[in-house]
Structure 1
Amino acid sequence: MNPFLIPRRPWTRQCMLPLGARPGLGTAAGNWQRLQEAAGGLPVPGPATLGNQPRLSGDAACCRVTPRLDRPKPLVFSAMWVWALLPILLVLWGTVGFWLVYAMAVANGSVNVTVVFPYISTCGSDPPQSCIFGQVMNVGSFLVVWISYLRFQQVRDWGCPCALNTAGLVLGLLCALGASVVANFQQNNQLETHLFGVFLAFVVGIVYFWVQAALTQQVKPRHGGGWLGPARFCLCATGTALLVAMCALHGLGLKSEAAICEWALTQSLFLLFGLFAEDFRHIESCCVRLQGRAPSPALELGAASTQTLAL
């Protein structure tokens, strides 16, 4: 007796007849009736449809149902310009959101620019603009996480040193965490926690882009032309100078000048993120694949035994 495998997936049929036996007579007809009953409604070729099949050697007639093991195709995004839009979206979102918060703070009298020019956090401390400020920072932190991970994968595929690239990924995630902390802990409520988030967003963010500037020089081949590396280096130097000037001016009590440096530093960071659009323009596709744990041999054996029916 030959086994009959009950399929659980899309399947194909391979029918074999004994040498010298004619379709529709004797063994083939009896087996066809039993196969139809055991298949439980699945289509089984009858004796009439087997008349044109070639004669094959064998001891008995059988119909073997073989599962077709089609692997699920990974989800692939092939539009190259989509990934270049992520850094541009971050720049537009952050710039428009911060200046909107500033306009609302000036309009409702939360800040008085004739006395002192406000910090960004000062503009977003009081409602209702604090709600918009928090939303802008939270969405921006999510975009930073996504951009940092894409950049990490891109540099790794180009074969750059994994240690420096991994350090860049960690720094990018810490910068995103700092932006989220700034958004959710306003300076009027939790000043210490707010300042910790500012440190992660500004100081760690500048260090992150210095790492990216170093990786740009090590990428072979270089994408985006020869201007990308010097532009990233100049913006990193400008951001570093603005960060030092902001801390020094704040320590000297020059609050308006320190606030102006903070606004300029924020725009420098946005421009550095915007430069990733040129890098991401060369991403051909992004593959998202979910892999499940492979079943143990004992489970596979048990599953196979439950699918076997002797004729």
Structure 2
Amino acid sequence: MPAWGILPVTLPAFTITGMWIVYAMALSNNHICPVHNWSYNQSCDMDGPSSCCTLDHIPLVSKCGTLPPESCFFSLICSLGSFMVILVGLLRYAHLLECLGPSLLNTLGLATGWVCAAGLTMVGNFQVDHAKVLHYIGAGVAFPTSMLFLLLQSILTYRMAKTRGQYWTGHLRSILTTVAFFTLVFSGVFFIQESFVLQHVAALCEWMFIIDVLVFYGTFTFEFGAISTDTFLVLLKASRAPKSYKGESSLSSTACIHSHVEGLAMA
């Protein structure tokens, strides 16, 4: 498989592993409650202060990375993850440009991916307990735009689909987009509740949303295996002469179909 086909798999593998380490560090330092512990307040009386679970210890993603030393790793993971999101978004844009030609949906997909990366950078570098307003602004930018990115990419997958395998990829991405939508909505609805149990559910939904989005990014490996030097030449040519490129979009689409099949065969 070409090197670019590894990138979409590296993003979820690196981020999920890194976030698990952050969670483990926060748990070992008693900064959060275990995900399996649903006994808030009562646990303070039974087990003592060292394992006390209160509303401040709910294992939200942001809570896992709000205090040192895990906050340092949290910032690093979010910053590197943001860079990879920018790179994946650009490669996805170039590949669709080669296959479909100029497209408003493709441009919106690139924009939402990059805006999501900017929001993710804010989330990672402004911890919720120290810069709450900036942290929530970043989360308010990153979560909705990542949801919109998934939706746009699912639509574009169907628009590009010519083979049965490509349609199945579209089905998979549609399922992941649906799961992401419901987990994001439930996370927001339960987060504003005063119930400890519902806020704990909000934390689980937030983790599910993030993992689901990362798995979605991993599915780009199906197409990225076909990315070649010609893909970057198409991107460069489109940026310099977009009008003349429109007349050649059909030829690029035909070449893309063949390169996609070759990429799947190599995978």
TM-score, normalised relative to structure 2: 0.75
RMSD over aligned Cα atoms: 2.0
Shift of 1:159: 2.0
Shift of 1:136: 0.4
Shift of 1:251: 2.0
1:192 maps to a residue whose letter is V
1:158, 1:220 within 8 Å by CA — same for their partners in 2?
Answer: no
Report the equivalent of 2:223.
279
1:87 maps to a residue whose letter is P
1:119 maps to a residue whose letter is L
Which has the larger share of helix? 2
Whole-angstrom CA distance in 2 between matches of 1:227 and 1:220: 9
Q: Does 2:231 correspond to 1:256?
A: no
**SS of corresponding position for 2:100:** coil
**SS of corresponding position for 2:2:** helix
Report the equivalent of 1:90.
11
The equivalences for 1:28-39 within 5 A come to none
Whole-angstrom CA distance in 2 between matches of 1:83 and 1:111: 37
2:32 counterpart (100, 111, 117): 111
2:90 counterpart (149, 153, 175): 149
1:137, 1:183 within 8 Å by CA — same for their partners in 2?
Answer: yes
**SS of corresponding position for 2:18:** helix
Shift of 1:200: 1.9
Task: Note closer, same or farther for the CA distance 1:92–1:184 as it changes in structure 2 (3 Å cut).
Answer: same
1:201 maps to a residue whose letter is A
Task: Note closer, same or farther for the CA distance 1:223–1:137 as it changes in structure 2 (3 Å cut).
Answer: farther
Shift of 1:260: 0.4
Whole-angstrom CA distance in 2 between matches of 1:83 and 1:129: 31
> Percent same amino acid among aligned pairs?
32
Whole-angstrom CA distance in 1 between matches of 2:98 and 2:135: 37
Whole-angstrom CA distance in 2 between matches of 1:171 and 1:222: 27
Q: Does 2:63 correspond to 1:122?
A: yes
Whole-angstrom CA distance in 1 between matches of 2:69 and 2:111: 34
Report the equivalent of 1:294.
none
1:124, 1:133 within 8 Å by CA — same for their partners in 2?
Answer: yes
Shift of 1:189: 1.4
1:239 counterpart (177, 180, 193): 180
1:84, 1:277 within 8 Å by CA — same for their partners in 2?
Answer: yes
Shift of 1:162: 1.6
How many positions carry a matched residue from both structures? 212
Shift of 1:81: 2.2
The equivalences for 1:1-311 within 5 A come to 80-113=1-34, 114=37, 115=53, 117-219=58-160, 221-222=162-163, 224-253=165-194, 254-285=198-229, 287=232
Shift of 1:117: 3.8
Shift of 1:222: 5.0
Give the stretch that moved more between structures: 244-253 or 126-135: 244-253
Whole-angstrom CA distance in 1 between matches of 2:9 and 2:161: 25
1:162 maps to a residue whose letter is S
Shift of 1:224: 4.5
Task: Note closer, same or farther for the CA distance 1:219–1:274 as it changes in structure 2 (3 Å cut).
Answer: same
